[in-house]
Chains A and B, each alone.
Chain A
Amino acid sequence: MVHVFSRFRFRWGLGLIAGLLPLSLLVIVVFLLHAAWPAITFNGLGFLIHNSWNLGNMYADPVMVRGQEVLPRADYGVLFLVVGTLLTSLIALILAVPFGILSAIFLAEGLRGPARTLGSFLVELLAAVPSVVYGLWGYLVLIPLLGRHVYPWLEQSLGTFVPIFHGPSGSGYGLLTAGILLGFMVVPLIAASLRDALVATPSALREAGASMGASRMEIVRQILLPGQRNLIIGVTVLAFGRALGETMAVLMVSGNALNSLPKNIYDPISTMAAFIASQLDSAMQDPTGMAVHALAEIALLLMVISVLVNGAARGVLWLSGHRT
């Protein structure tokens, strides 16, 4: 009897502890919603559809608007952040997906034995480098290189017939630089997952292809890769979710634009994550606290978007029988 009781007590205890994980997700949502509520009622839908981050007149007395105490002429609209976040992540994916797939093929099919282990290790280490070190490298290496040499050249060549590459190419801080840096940061995720899946493909599939006279690369392209379509989609969405939330690297190379949409691919931008990190100091100066509430609304928005993207990715991976 005692044993039965203690067994269930142990199990219930474990279950309660395991419940802390989903609970923490719930608590985060509830507290963010609570903190953002004054801003949500004050801003309404306009928050998402115009460009204005204006704390209002700091030296005037607060006024009441829609039941909330705010500074006169305070106005919050973060369309530019949503656009900046989505565009940087999109550029990151456009670069990371082909490079990720190609290097996964190289690792799985072109190398074997210790060389494959070492190569995979190198690619996975890219994911281990801290975000702020990427930021440092981007700030000191990538920006001078791209801003002085690559972007002027892109502007002269591609810019003459592709509108978004049209100049001025600016200083190097901006959308494309942030996208490139993010691309390097998410590429290991894609490469490692696909490499594992390729290595684990049953050899019967390869043999079937080889018996038809297909070369190794033809087997990869026409048999193995189509079989991994769902995995590739799922991991790509997962990488998108990760790129959306990256903070430090973007903060250091994006140019931190305020209230403006990028006019070309070189323009300075800001993302939701980087904006939260860079604006809290000044938001705390708002005596009504509305700026801090508005930042909470950005955090909530970012969280909702990432959770949706992540949930979608997990769904696709789960359907395809992977759990990465």
Chain B
Amino acid sequence: MIPVAPVTPHRHVIHMRRRVADGVMWGATALSFALLGFVLLHILTYVFVHGYPALHLKIFTTDAQGIAGGLRNAIVGSLLLSGLALLIAVPIGVSAGVYLSEHGGGLAAKVARFLSDVLVGVPSIVLGYFGYITMVIGFGWRFSLLAGSITLAIMMLPYIARTSEMAFRAVPVALRESAYALGSPEGSVVRRILLPSARIPVLTGILMALAIALGETAPLLYTAGWSNYLWNGHFTHEGVGYLTYVIWSFIGEPYASAHQLAYAAALLITLMVLAINLSARLLLVRWRGVGR
């Protein structure tokens, strides 16, 4: 064996290598960020460019007739489904958040928290199928507003519980202690101290959950069904139309009128989701800026 002298590259070679490796990495990071930004902007402009010309006044004033007409029933249906889901999920979710933040140290609470984290991961189509076999078939409600809303509420619950738990945790302990020192029972500590001081982050979480619910399709396919008519006040036994259904089912039809409706629905739902998302973020940023 002939001993081989280790080859040490020249110092400026090492220097150049490091410079090049750095440059390549920075380039790769910038490119991948640019790609993600481009895709987002492309989706948004695509939806806007195709949806805006399709947005006539008629869209807001007439109901869908087969594959033509307007979207009034779907707009109202989307708002009703998500609104009712919110009414169900907010009290439960915020109370669960209070419990997990105030009494979250024990084993039971830890298990509950872990399981509600897991519940976030249950696919929404599974929730939809669950709603179908229990409420639509089991209770005999058929495709209906209530079945759709309860399914959406189950989906929103863990989000709301999680965000409100975090919000309540951030309230300084000293505030609670001063209230207890004055003899307040726990109920009024929660109502008068925790809820008011954490209301903005709690509201942010609720708005985010609302944005998710508005954009959902899968859990509603077999719980809310579809209807060409405006909601007639029935909670069960009547299908409800909603915007996301229009997008997925009408775009597959071979008619221009159906495509126009799908584009309009996509624009409307995207605008609503973005507006809610944006206002939730602004609310939080302003609240943080003001300082507590």
Contacts and interface: CB of A to CB of B under 8 A. Distances in A.
B186 to A, nearest CB: 5
Given A106-B29, A129-B43, A307 B122 contact: yes
Interface stretch (A62-70, A156-164, A262-270, A273-281): A273-281
A14 B103 contact: yes
Contacts of A307: 118, 121-122
Contacts of A99: 32, 35-36
A122 B132 contact: no
A204 interface: no
B108 to A, nearest CB: 8
B99 A135 contact: no
A126 B186 CA distance: 41
A24 interface: yes
A107 B33 contact: yes
A307 B102 CA distance: 27
Main SS class of interface, A: helix
Nearest to A214: B18
Nearest to A275: B125
B2 interface: no
Contacts of A19: 112
B115 A25 contact: yes
B68 interface: no
Contacts of B248: 132, 135-136, 248, 251-252
A21 B115 contact: yes
Interface in B88-118: 91-92, 95-96, 98-100, 102-103, 108-109, 111-112, 114-118
Given A218-B18, A247-B123, A247-B125, A121 B33 contact: no
B222 interface: yes
A187 B134 CA distance: 34
Interface in A1-57: 3, 6-7, 10-11, 13-15, 17-22, 24-25, 28, 31-32, 35
A122 B36 contact: yes
Interface of B: 18, 21-22, 25-26, 28-33, 35-37, 39-44, 46-47, 91-92, 95-96, 98-100, 102-103, 108-109, 111-112, 114-130, 132-134, 138, 154, 157-158, 161, 183, 185-187, 190, 211, 214-218, 221-222, 244, 247-248, 251, 262, 266, 269-270, 273-274, 277, 281
22 contacts: A11-B186, A17-B92, A17-B96, A21-B157, A22-B115, A31-B138, A122-B41, A128-B215, A130-B217, A131-B216, A133-B215, A133-B270, A136-B251, A136-B266, A215-B22, A245-B122, A245-B124, A276-B126, A292-B133, A299-B129, A306-B121, A311-B114
Instruction: Across the A-B interface, give the 6 residue pairs with the lowest CB-CB distance, nearest first.
Output: A245-B123, A130-B215, A310-B121, A106-B29, A22-B115, A18-B99
Given A14-B99, A19-B112, A135-B248, 16 more contacts: A7-B185, A20-B157, A99-B32, A102-B32, A102-B33, A106-B29, A121-B281, A123-B37, A125-B274, A184-B39, A221-B25, A241-B121, A248-B217, A248-B248, A303-B123, A307-B118
Interface of A: 3, 6-7, 10-11, 13-15, 17-22, 24-25, 28, 31-32, 35, 98-99, 102-103, 105-107, 109-110, 119, 121-123, 125-126, 128-137, 139-141, 184, 187-188, 191, 215-218, 221, 238, 241-242, 244-248, 251-252, 273, 276-277, 280, 292, 295-296, 299, 302-303, 306-307, 309-311, 313-314
